[in-house]
Amino acid sequence: MEKKCENLEKEKNTAQSVIEETLDGVNLSNKSLVDLEVIESRLRIGLQKIVKQKELMIRNKLSSEEEKMTCVICQIETKTVLLMPCRHLCVCKDCSLRHEMDKCPLCRQPVRDKIDVYA
């Protein structure tokens, strides 16, 4: 059983080396035209999947960053007003002017002052 595991590990390492060499363009001269076309096709498909995954990750990150900067009240405008004394930057200018804004929407501390923030 142990010998079988060792052989499987060697086969895995050999296969990994072949894959790495192929990706690096090493030993391609001993491949047939059909082999090269298959390799090229699989690489193109893999590359398309990688590009799509990267785009998805970038879109998600941008969406997350935009969400972090969106007013917690209206959920539309960008946060631009710092509430004092708690120092939460959590509301836009319009929402900060609402008469209900006597407490911070995050920590519920009384708001004594509002500072416009420009970034």
**55-89 confidence digits (pLDDT tens):** 999 999 888 888 889 999 999 999 999 999 999 99
The pTM of the full predicted model, rounded to 2 decimals, is 0.52
**87-110 confidence digits (pLDDT tens):** 999 999 999 999 989 999 999 999
**Location of structure tokens 């009240």:** 73
Give the Cα separation of 12 and 24 in Å (integer).
18
CA 99, 105, 109, 114 torsion: positive or negative?
negative
Q: Which sequence spans correspond to the domains of the chain?
A: 2-67, 81-116
Q: State both tokens at 80.
A: 């631009």
Give the Cα separation of 86 and 104 in Å (integer).
8
- Residues linked to residue 102 through DSSP beta bridges, in sequence order: none
